[in-house]
Structure 1
């Protein structure tokens, strides 16, 4: 292991990882996403922490797929496989601002899910645009 002192810069900081993912993952704007809300070929997936969802609400009909579990839930070879996330629909991931969702989408692309995009600006942009929200 390499020694890195507390507070010293990381070799690949989170901002760099997000920028790399944004260059690769398709971003869908909130108005385009709103038009997909009733599309039966698209599943919205909320990758936020359950406490965020409880506090702020979510996009109506979205699946809850926390970032730390989604990679396992989409993998048919995983003991945690959940067919709700692998039912033939494209996945439109979102989080609060778009950082976690773009990183998660990149992971799913790396795993072989080519039908993945993320919501540009995340749930914050969705709500600011006046699109529907349930719960919260």
Structure 2
């Protein structure tokens, strides 16, 4: 068995490559899609950020380390919202970096409509979209 090692990537190049594989979504479009029932917003920020900055009403809060288990439609630990592989998931982190890698992971689970929010929660808040404490 031959083992060929790929050249290591820096995080910026990795993000660029991952983002080339799907269309990311802007805050207003994510808000509209969720309001219209066409997207599940999933907040993966850790608790301290949610406490500090607030929550997006209606978003499913799933810590990043639980994301794949909670959204795998075939998984035994799935959230009730994980209804199928066609579910449109919008992953939201604080600034739109960790969510990119999380969305890519969901793609590998077969959630082909998974995406992430450009600019993350901070872009949502800056757009004047609803936030609760």
Which bin holds the TM-score, normalised by the shorter protein? 0.7 to 0.9
State the shift of 1:23 in Å: 1.2
The farther-off stretch of 77-86 and 107-116 is: 77-86
State the shift of 1:77 in Å: 4.7
Structure 1: stretches of 5+ with no match in the other structure: 1-9
State the shift of 1:120 in Å: 0.7
State the shift of 1:52 in Å: 1.1
Structure 2: stretches of 5+ with no match in the other structure: 1-6
The whole-number CA distance in structure 1 between the counterparts of 2:109 and 2:127 is 32
The whole-number CA distance in structure 1 between the counterparts of 2:22 and 2:51 is 27
State the shift of 1:17 in Å: 2.2
Q: How does 1:83-94 map to 2 (within 5 A)?
A: 83-86=80-83, 89-94=87-92
How high is the TM-score relative to the length of structure 1? 0.81
How high is the TM-score relative to the length of structure 2? 0.83
Q: How does 1:75-90 map to 2 (within 5 A)?
A: 75-86=72-83, 89-90=87-88
Whose strand proportion is higher, 1 or 2? Answer: 1
SS at structure 2 position matched to 1:104: helix
Runs of 4+, deviation exceeding 6 Å: none
CA contact (8 A) 1:47 1:64 kept: yes
- RMSD between aligned alpha carbons? 2.0
The whole-number CA distance in structure 1 between the counterparts of 2:72 and 2:32 is 28
State the shift of 1:79 in Å: 4.1
